[in-house]
Structure 1
Amino acid sequence: MEYDVTIRNIFATQSVIEQLSGRGLMGFFKYDGWMNNRPLEPAGFGAGPGTSLLAPLPTPAYVPVYTTAEYSLYQVSNKGSLNTDYYHLPDKRTLVYNRQINFAYWETPLALDSGNPLEVTAAQLKAICPEASLANIEKHVAPLNKSMQKYEINTRLRQAHFLAQVSVESDHFRATREYASGKSYEGRADLGNTQKGDGVRFAGRGLIQITGRDVYVKYGKYIGKDLTQGENMKLVEEEPWASDAAGYFWLIYKKAKNINARADSDNVDSVSRAVNGGTNGLQERRRYTANAKKIFGLK
């Protein structure tokens, strides 16, 4: 039959695998003794001298699998044998423990499988743009992944170019609004700034900073929001719009520039001109693209 036991969250880490195999500092934490005294509940790891790592529950009680801040419940199956036990984690992974050789391992190698093989992780973004703080990256990584899926940035090479451009345009994920006031855009008919105050009102926003009344009007219609009224234009400074606007700009607003095709040809300078209109930050754009290609295993 199947039953539930309590195991601390740390059990799923390399440190506990080492403990089970006898290589860790806590070699006294023996598997047999632990199993013979189940069900067990952690008694506050590191709580202080004299506190045992595990303490028996007053009354044996098998409970459903769930997780708390202190510990997780892992289901143990009779799938195993005299020498092997299988622990089914709440996230569907299985940890196998071989009692004969005192070794624990994952039945299936650990992987961040989101169902999207092209999903980018925060760690990868950090490696692409080392100057960015992980805290800032984590604000944007999920909506960026959605934006890339939505706007056909669906190859590793396209992602390499897109993320490099985003890294520079957002000042290493520090800003979703340009630092300048926008006064320099006043009267710029090529940006659609035909009304007084448009320069400041429609300054650059988003992770690829969309700029000017024209793009705000078109993007607003696309998402079903009037970004010209009141303070609505500031929505683009927030997620998910900051990332979504970047994808919209890349695929739809700049459709005539065909930025994905430029990325497909692996031409950083051409992509940069389409995004920024010039060579501003070109060395960084090249460096981040090279970083991304290395991270994604591209030549």
Structure 2
Amino acid sequence: MPNPPSFITPAQLKQMFPDSSILDRYIIAREVNAKAAEFKLDTALRQRHFFAQIKGETGSLLEGQTEGWNYSPEALKRFSLYYRQNPKEAEQDGYLKDPVTGGFIRRADERAVGRKHFQRLNGNRASNPEDGYNFRGRGLIQITGYEKYDGFMQNYAKYWDDEVPDTVTNPELINKMPYAIRSAMYFWLHYRIYLAADSGKGYADVRAVTRRVNGGNEGLDRRQAAYLEAEGIF
């Protein structure tokens, strides 16, 4: 008898993420299959969107990664109102490259970027100026901001019965298994990302799903390409 749509296999994950580890594939298949209905990952359509978003964030590795902010001064001014209003600080905080070799003379000051731009976003606390940097995007789906790190920790015991990870004190835990996949599942459910997938238009819904994930169209082309891959796998 063929597997029902809600059941995923490590072999499918290998197809979608060819550079992933055997162990990670087995952990992810186990975690998703155990709670597919609870986390709204119980249809092939939802799984396609879920794993397409993960591939858009992690590429073919399928492992938690920490967001990097090594931006040029020009990039800082493009996406940040703060840096447009303070262009001298963009020059100070952005990276500096050798005009001849193209090598870095100085990397961006990511802590400063966190304080000046990202501190205002993603449920970070006004009283904690390092929240923007400390709670950068991490995990398989790049959960970002104090609100999400704390929310995952506070809600963890509703879904899992092992020790609750302190992802506020130790945010790097979000990159480690099983928390990398569990945090992605929590994000998918708690922020109702699945509702955009449930429209039922498949590829045409990737833009709406992406907007729910990151608030815009960042990496949309990667996510669209990943969705087309997922259609042949899940």
Read off the aligned partner of 2:121 and give its amino acid letter: D
Question: Pick from 214, 217, 229: which aligns with 1:276?
Answer: 214
Corresponding residue for residue 114 of structure 2: 185
Q: Give yes or no for contact 1:173–1:207 (8 Å, CA) kept in 2.
A: no
- Aligned equivalent of 1:198, options 131, 155, 177: 131
- By how many angstroms is 1:150 displaced? 3.2
Higher radius of gyration, 1 or 2: 1
- TM-score, with length taken from structure 2: 0.65
Question: How many angstroms apart in 2 are the aligned matches of 1:292 and 1:223?
Answer: 28
Describe the shift of the 1:238–1:280 C-alpha distance in structure 2 as closer, same or farther (beyond 3 A).
Answer: same
Q: Is the 8 A contact 2:20 2:63 kept in 1?
A: no
Query: Does structure 2 conserve the Cα–Cα contact (< 8 Å) formed by 1:158 and 1:264?
Result: yes
Question: Counterparts of 1:120 and 1:217 in 2: how far apart (Å)?
Answer: 29
Alignment match of 1:124 (pick from 9, 12, 33): 12
**Higher relative contact order (CA closer than 8 Å, sequence separation 6+):** 2
TM superposition shift of 1:147: 5.3
Please give the alpha-carbon distance, in whole angstroms, between the structure 2 residues aligned to 1:278 and 1:117: 29
| In 2, Cα distance between equivalents of 1:190 and 1:148 | 31
Please name the residue that 1:67 is paired with: none
Corresponding residue number in structure 1 for 2:232: 294
SS of 1:133's partner is coil
Q: Distance in 2 between matches of 1:174 and 1:264?
A: 24
What does the per-residue CA deviation read over 1:145-186, in whole Å, with 9 as the maximum and x for residues that have no partner?
A: 345443111111011100111112223235413241663333
**1:168 and 2:106 are equivalent in the alignment:** no
Please give the alpha-carbon distance, in whole angstroms, between the structure 1 residues aligned to 2:114 and 2:35.
27
Distance 1:216-1:127 versus aligned 2 partners, 3 A rule: same
Higher fraction of helix? 2
**Match in the other structure for 2:149:** 216
SS of the residue corresponding to residue 232 of structure 2 reads helix
Normalization by structure 1: what TM-score?
A: 0.52
The CA deviation string for residues 238-296 of structure 1, in whole angstroms up to 9 with x for no partner, is 222111110111111x23xxx22211222011101111222222222112211222223
Number of aligned positions between the proteins? 177
As a proportion of its length, which structure holds more strand?
Answer: 1
Instruction: Tell me the C-alpha RMSD between the 2 structures.
Output: 2.5
Where structure 2 has 5 or more consecutive residues not aligned to the other structure, the ranges are: 70-109, 158-163
